[in-house]
Chains A and B, each alone.
Chain A
């Protein structure tokens, strides 16, 4: 009920205000509701609804390695929103990355994933967007510096990296797997953060869901790989993680916390399960290195630092406390090639997401004030190479750099 009520109100508003009467009058409630659900799966709100603003009214800055882009206004306002767009223009934007004036859209808008979404689903999203309150809010999306602000350059990018086309089911796989693949690769756009990228921001050929560092966090490997991925999780563990923000292994914080808050906690269990089945089927056989010897000086120091600072919550065996304190043993964030998340969390602390199903949102305090660069690096080396974990050691220069970065951008 909680979510249905505003839609009805919004529909009425749209009708009464005379805006998009044609759409509002021509749409059938189940379509709108389906569209609302799909827009949630697509997590449109993450970029298009800034904190405290009217839904989808745009204006949220999206950081990219090339500069900032501002998410446009998706409300049915005819002047500043998408109210004047035709359905074809909407479909072209979603599936081809082309704006209603024929301009190329930037890849921060994940049309590379949305291209896989079916037309009826996209039109349902359109129907839902048309029920929102029109907000007059002019947004200048392109805030990139030269030369990235030249949209024509995107034509070449598309040629190199964009595979246009709707999702084609794999007849050798189950219906559930195909549903999961459709959602994960399409609307849920997991690949946007979790695919490894090249220097131009295009997906690498062997990096599918293999992990990537962005916004100072590692989006870890989410394939069925048992070393860095989630191959030791069962489908139920993934469902629980996406619905509540935590499970017996992990707790979501950082950008994934936002995804769970806005999107996955509201998704249907069947869909979450389908995504889980699909992710677990993805194989990337990553070979672990030989662990650093416990006799190594950094390991010895790290063990002491761990005992004093970490073990009360993460436990002596590194397994943490189910649903509260993440397990460090077998953790993709701990074992990622890039220790960015680990470094960040130790220096700055982190707050796990609070969801309707699991409101606790436990947090880890910052340790920057307490641990030297050497201590922090040693404890990272220790947790990356204990309890069966194995990953390259972390040097204190990594911590020095991260500390400077944290001070510059608190």
Chain B
């Protein structure tokens, strides 16, 4: 291993990771004229060269073989359910799939683009107010974010305008809008694009939900419902409903991704450099341990470089952000025994369930689909319903959001069908068109025993200790999912399915089957350095010239896809850096 480190000329700002958060930070900071360099461990990927319309809908290549994802051989973590167990390396990613390459997870996401509820941001205060001082069990580490929905609202709007999100505003300037989500926080303006066209399954879901007194609305989508030119002058073309969003790149400039919506404008800045196939190994600290002086990265040839910079911004996705803090010796690692330390604490996930609906006489044409296409109801999300006596907090969005009709992996058959052979083939043929799914996407609340730390045994290919993931579904979340899935079943029954099959998480959490790539926490934001890693501007309390942006900052996860909140936080942090930090470098919040 070549461990010699070549030192490069200094840059003003070094950004680690070119997904959504990194691209947003890069373009907003490049506007200042400062020298910005962004590192991306994976390859350059643009629509023209890498998301070819002739082969991008290749399920085997992208969905099964997961070409856009990091492989376990390149980077993996060890996993266990509880701290008395010995963690083992994940040898094939399953439960979550981590992107690599330009665009990161923003290249392979589906496109559901939610805002979190106002109460999600002030969760502990809100629940205490509503249910009393002692209502929250000791084991639940839920917290306020240190930022309110109202503070973040303009930045949600900024993200939606940049990404060309289609939807129907539910509450605009205090007025509830018919057909939108009545539970959402107040919007300063409607979505930049109208909702997508609805599939038959989504329409049936909406009618049925309405019949039983719920208020369905089109799910907010990053798959463009029309031609859209965004705030950077970049244009999206209308979605063709091909159903290859999740795990795939978009060939039609329809799914908003960093490469579609930001990179073409970003690359026009001569003061910006994108350094791909270069993995940052750690942040370099000065002797005081309070100032970051740059980053060390390794390029594709194995050569290591030190890139000095005045400001370092980590935008490498949740777990990689936390791992960089560990690898750089920043902050105190969390210890579940003592409860001390903050790095790796409050790791959370997403608690999802689904109901398969088998019909005799319907044709859903599931291959007409898109990652954000669908209808949802929010009656049982967050604290939109009374939790008194339920024994849990949190909730889930209930959706008809069939994102694909993939012919290899989307073959739903009723229980009792053989797993292979003639009968299986017959059953998949019989049910392919006439089966649909209602699913719930639930909150995930942190506990003392779910956390990230360094594995004592296993090293990665660069000789660093692997990250260790210790996670199981908290009882709180299992109860929540069981409760909300039963509510979803009410809708499913109203849809008239001849058979319904529920898939509710039971625990223990299994790292093998795909569930969600919505990992959160580990470097959380908050009001005080005593219980958070970064302040409300996502600035490290310990190292003021270091910002840590992404899902890593979420104190807990809500019952929504996190991308818009990651994007809004990136815009919020970028704004604080441009308007405050660059004028007077130093802590933006006094501890």
Binding site for B on A (CB under 8 A): 309, 312-313, 321-325, 349, 351, 354, 356-365, 367, 369-370
Contacts and interface: CB of A to CB of B under 8 A. Distances in A.
Given A312-B242, A313-B252, A359 B53 contact: no
Is chain A's binding surface mostly helix, strand, loop or mixed? Answer: loop
A362 B268 contact: no
17 contacts: A309-B54, A312-B242, A312-B251, A312-B252, A321-B227, A322-B227, A323-B227, A324-B235, A324-B236, A351-B48, A356-B233, A361-B48, A362-B253, A363-B48, A364-B48, A365-B49, A365-B52
Given A322-B227, A360-B235, A360-B253, A312 B53 contact: yes
B268 A358 contact: no
B240 interface: yes
Given A313-B237, A365-B52, A365-B54, A359 B268 contact: yes
A369 B236 CA distance: 27
Given A313-B252, A361-B264, A325 B53 contact: no
Interface in B228-244: 229, 232-238, 240, 242
A322 B53 CA distance: 18
Q: Which of B236, B253, B267, B268 has the most CB of A within 10 A?
A: B253
A388 to B, nearest CB: 23
A189 to B, nearest CB: 27
B578 interface: no
Contacts of A354: 264, 268
A70 to B, nearest CB: 27
Contacts of B240: 312
A309 B468 CA distance: 46
Given A312-B252, A358-B233, A359-B264, 11 more contacts: A312-B242, A321-B238, A322-B227, A324-B227, A324-B237, A354-B264, A362-B237, A363-B47, A365-B49, A365-B52, A365-B53
Nearest to B232: A359
Interface of B: 47-49, 52-54, 227, 229, 232-238, 240, 242, 251-253, 264-265, 267-268
A368 B217 CA distance: 44
A369 B265 CA distance: 31
A264 to B, nearest CB: 17
Nearest to A246: B235
Given A312-B240, A354-B264, A323 B53 contact: no
The 9 closest A-B pairs by CB, nearest first: A363-B48, A365-B52, A359-B264, A324-B237, A321-B237, A359-B265, A360-B235, A312-B240, A360-B234
Contacts of B47: 362-363
B232 A370 contact: no
B235 A358 contact: yes
A354 B237 CA distance: 16
Contacts of B251: 312, 365
A360 B237 CA distance: 11
Contacts of A312: 53, 240, 242, 251-252
Q: Which of A351, A363, A365, A367 has the most CB of B within 10 A?
A: A365
A47 to B, nearest CB: 23
A362 B48 contact: yes
Nearest to B51: A365
Contacts of A351: 48
A312 B238 CA distance: 10
A147 to B, nearest CB: 43
Contacts of B234: 359-360
A356 B49 CA distance: 21
Contacts of B232: 359
Contacts of B53: 309, 312-313, 365
A145 to B, nearest CB: 37
Contacts of A359: 232-234, 264-265, 267-268
Contacts of A361: 48, 264
A354 B263 CA distance: 12
B242 A349 contact: no
Nearest to B50: A365
Nearest to A312: B240
B229 A365 contact: no
